[in-house]
Structure formats: C-alpha cells, structure tokens
Copies of this chain bind each other. A is one copy, B any other.
Amino acid sequence: MTLAMTREDLMAFLKEAFPQVSDDYIVDHVEEKLIRVRLVVDDRHLRPGGTISGPSMFSLADVTVYLGVLSMIGPKALAVTTNCSIDFMRKPAAGQDLVAEARLLKLGRVLAVGDVVMWSDTGPEAARAGRLAPVARATLTYSIPPER
C-alpha cells in the first residue's frame, strides 16, 4: 500500500489548513499506519513551573492521529475527532520537545482509531529509555465524512 500523503504533503497541508498552529508541529516520520510528530515546545505550551500543559499534549495527540489518518486517505479536512481517552503518566522533561508516535489500529469506511504514545525527546540514548517511560498515551477516534 502506498501512502496517500508524504511527510512533505502533510507539512504543506498543515500549513495551509491550520496556519495558526502549523509552526508548533514537525512530522518526523510517516509510513503505512505509523506516524511520528514532534511538538516544538515553546513558552505558550507551558504551565507555571515549566511543565507542558495538558491541552498542549491533547493537541499533539489529536494532530498526530489526524495526520496519520490523512496520510492514508488523503487531505480530507473534514474528518472530525469524536472521542479521545488520554492518560497523563509522568512529567515531561523540562526544555525538551515532546514526540508522539501514533499507530492506526482501524481505518474503516466511517471510523478511524489510532493509539498514541508521547515521550520527551531527550536525545538518541535517552529516547530508548524514554520509550519505556512515556509521558502520556491517548486513543482517538475520527469520524470520516462520506464522499459527496
């Protein structure tokens, strides 16, 4: 199966469709049913004390699965999130980007489901450890509108 959108396509789509947030995210990698997106952490994502805020993590999870779905079905901006369950498990490392990896578990005619794990990007060595100690996880369901 070939991807409907490449990493570059996804970045261009994000810039066009969501200009106000597109600078926050970098698509690090995409392959069939798997995608990694990075939140370029900035002051506006932080809570007092320097922790990345819950809404910033929710947004990263949402964007990551959304782009993962689009990578498979093409640029349908109308896919909408219908459900999210998210677990916040550890404090992210201060001053580090947050990296989300999503797997598409279902890509049906009307519903898509993706699982996301997020961890602090603390360099190649620590990243492996970081995978064992994820900051948060989430599952998102998207409703895919019928073609017209």
B-binding residues in A (CB < 8 A) = 17-18, 20, 33, 44, 47-48, 54-56, 58-59, 62, 80-90, 105-106, 108, 110-111, 113, 115, 117, 132, 134, 137, 139, 141, 143
Contacts and interface: CB of A to CB of B under 8 A. Distances in A.
Contacts of A89: 82, 105-106, 108, 113
Chain copies in complex: 4
A83 B17 CA distance: 29
Contacts of A20: 44
- The CB with the most chain B CB atoms within 10 A, among A54, A137, A141, is that of A54
Contact of A54 (B47, B81, B105): B81
A99 B98 CA distance: 31
A113 B135 CA distance: 12
Contacts of A87: 82-83, 105-106, 113, 139, 141
Nearest to A134: B105
